[in-house]
Chain A
Amino acid sequence: MKSFIKIIDPGFHTSIQDNGRYGYRRLGFPVSGPMDKYSFTTANKLVGNFKDEAVLETTFKGPKLLFSGPCVVAVSGAIIPIFKNDENIELNKPFFCDLGDVLELGVVENGFRNYISFSGGLCQNKIFGSYSQYYPISENGTITKGQNIKIKGGVTYKNKIKGGVTYKNKIKNELNNLSFDSKLKVFEGPYWNNLENELKNKILNTEFKIGSNDRMAYRLSGGVLENKISSFSASVMPGTVQLTPKGDLIVVMRDGQVTGGYPRILQLTENSQSLLSQFRTGKVISFEISEYDKSHQ
């Protein structure tokens, strides 16, 4: 049975995200998908979704939703107040919503983004293989006030809660470790070894401050890294750290361009991308080089 949620208040910046849109990068399509993939996957598993189904990604201030039918729901990501009607709900714990229930998220206390998952996942307007919202590929870049969003059904409530609770016990330790650590793990980027050692050391020993940021990119500044490296255009992907001539860093995020004009000096690990997307303007971070894991070769 299909039901839907009605958006009473969309929150600050809330969009539908699944795992992303692949196969269209050569036409200039960004991949989109969740900024914090770790919390996205957790949220899906908590409601018993075994695949990466479409969820709501919220930023800073969460939305207010009205349910039209039965559904298991969970919220992961930033520390945030969660209310079902007047009842206080825990983060990372699946709960049941039915016709007439209202779910409301407040303002983040620590972190920046949350993931609201629904049993079966959201199924509103799949385009070019993905539910992820990105304007102008999808009609809108965010959910809008008054909109109804369809939810897939299929599995019983009992199974869902059971699956969710089982999963929660299994990942309890991992969840406790979601640390908001400001040291981001990176791999060397394609251009890294063309940099002079002095510049490399500066980059690894500098604390960078997060400037303007959104789903396209995070800008970091703080180092004295002016350089005369001539610009060129090549593929970039989420997590790529580019060095501008002025010495700022631009980290490409999920809705970022597929090609970039600055040298690609570092590449954030997937977990570090998740971590960075939980930070906002003013937060100070630094980098730590990781080795590639060659064990699978």
Chain B
Amino acid sequence: MPNSHVMSADAFRTRSQMWDATGMWAWVLHRITGLGLVFYIILHTILMAGSLLSGKEDFDSTLSILMGHPVFEFLDILLLGTVLYHGLNGIRILLFDIGIGVRVRTQKDLFWIFMGVGAILWFWSILLKLGW
């Protein structure tokens, strides 16, 4: 068989790197935000259920920490950004599934349009949160 000596599983090969491609970054961020949201939901459920089960006082004190501490205010903003990114990029992917925007240029345009909308919504929400 020709080239059989290089066909072994450990044959040297380089791996694809397309770090200048918009679609690649969109996918990487989609994965990261997706994992982040799963982690958040698990944490949220455990914390809420745990404090609810241990009584009214515990639940109230947990909520007062979560709603009042500046770190959690910041995490709230981060959570909203994550939800916005994952949701809007998810819509972009759904559009591909129904055959809309499946072109190199269009998929990039769609990405930046959705990111623009997301950024506006995010900053608007931050301003609302800060009471401006």
A binds B: no
